[in-house]
Amino acid sequence: MMTDVLPRSIVKTSGHLILLLLLVSLFFATPAFSITKSDGDKITIMLNEECVNLNKDKLAGLLASRLASDGETSLSPEMFKIMEGVIKRTDFDGIAEEKSVEIIGLVSEAYKRGAPLEYLDEIFDVAYVNTISVDQMYAAGNALREFHDSDVPQDVYEEFVYHSIENGWDPAILPVMTRGLIYGTDRGLDAGRVALIIMLDVKNGELKNKTPEQLVLNSIKLVREKEPAKWKPMSVVEKEMAAKHNKKEDLESTRRRLEQDMQQKERAMAKAETELKELREYPDAKLSPTERTKIDRDMEEMIKSFQTELAKFQQNHTNVVAELAKLGDEMKQENARKERDRQEKRERELSRNREQVEAYGKKGRLNRDKLNASVARYLGTPYRFGGDSERGIDCSAFTRRVYRDQGVELPRNSRAQARVSKSYGYNNVKTGDLIFFDTSITGTISHVGVYLGNNQFSHASSSRGVTKSSLREKYYAKRFVKAGRIFLE
């Protein structure tokens, strides 16, 4: 049963000529990578535009070396976007030039393998403090995409993905564990409990004697025994989708087998045709005319047989591809319907949350003593992607906890928090305001803190944990998007 469903300005040219010349000379000096003046200009502009803390000359050299070692032949738009986005974040977080370029390589390779950029954007800062491979980055990005398209709560799945990296899971098992957690949640079980049991079982070495699928099923079974009343059997639609997914896997296996068979037959036929041509051009003098005629006839029959078999394989392949396309369209439509329903549900929840926040904001007042006490309690807490405790916390969990102490329940992520608060500009920030930053590859709000007054704000920094910073510092002012006010009085 499990296999059925476990199936993201113009630069001032004066004073920057040296940087441009360095970039161009470094790139041209390496035969494996050639860069046009246009690309050199783009990189120069980008480095001058994005770097406040990072050393532009050093970074230019490291980028040149990295691209050359990767065997790049040109600077693709995707690679430039990744370079720009990662440097934007690492400059914001004060990460060294060497680490910045290493992360660019990780994100780039994971993206080339097919991981979605918007989710790689969410996860790559875990590489600041963790040793992470391209395989892990790729698996984590894909897992975040699958979880985003599910009903597993964000705080649960982010902790789950981070745990897989922190504890060095084999990247090959993460898709199975991801789909298992989604399956258990779909069946009505508590997502946090299912995730915890899976994580504990992996940590306790259960994979030594079980397949990943068996571990997941046993974990779900254990949770189901603890909360039997919550269990929801699969609906008719879910069963149909599971069956289609299973059929799709079978068809894809058949397609691959047919393609292998066709290639084998094509090679055999080409070999037979070559041999026949050689026999006719260079007849064996030891053979009689009758023998040569028989061999010629036999070879022609063999080639015709290959052609007949190949035609059958091609027709079967055409039929399988057509069936796959039809099935894929049906599944795509059903998934699109589910995603519309899920988005509508999320929008309703966000709308209710906004109404609650606005109502409280109109009648309540900011308690500055509580604000300062809340921030003081978390100062020094390490950053943890998906973390929501004093052991480790991320930026939106930190601001949510600060405002929970004010009696206000904010949404879980920074973009949603921006949507439920009233917007103000940089020059109108007041104590208690949420302040939002763009530190992303995809150009969206990706970081949040809380303003304390006197140009100070507190936030969970990816590199330093919960800390206080000055909003007047250039790299914070540069990334500022807006302030979000909760208490309107």
Given the residues 148, 163, 317, 459, the one annotated as active site: 459
Q: Are 227 and 189 in contact (CB under 8 A)?
A: yes
Helix, strand, coil percentages in the chain from 3-state DSSP, rounded to 5: 65, 10, 25
**Helix segments in 187-235, DSSP class H:** 191-203, 212-226
Q: Is 447 a catalytic residue?
A: yes
CA angle 98, 102, 103 (to 5 degrees): 120
Other Cβ atoms less than 10 A from the Cβ of 347: the count is 11
Given the residues 163, 245, 317, 395, the one annotated as active site: 395
Q: What is the C-alpha to C-alpha distance for residues 143 and 138, in angstroms, rounded to an integer?
A: 9
Maximal C-alpha separation, the chain:
109
Given the residues 51, 163, 245, 447, the one annotated as active site: 447
Angle between helices 77-93 and 56-69 (to 10 degrees): 140
Kindly list the distances between the CA atom of residue 53 and the CA atoms of 44, 64, 100, 113, 194, in Å, as whole numbers in the listed order.
16, 19, 12, 31, 43
Other Cβ atoms less than 10 A from the Cβ of 422: the count is 15
58 Cβ contact list (under 8 Å, min separation 6): 97
Q: Which residue type occupies 63? A: L
DSSP 8-state secondary structure symbol assigned to residue 211: -
Q: Is 459 a catalytic residue?
A: yes
Q: What is the C-alpha to C-alpha distance for residues 216 and 2, in angstroms, rounded to an integer?
A: 8
419 Cβ contact list (under 8 Å, min separation 6): 350, 354, 411
Nearest to 144 by CA among 128, 120, 108: 120
Residue with tokens 């985003």: 148
Catalytic residues: 395, 447, 459
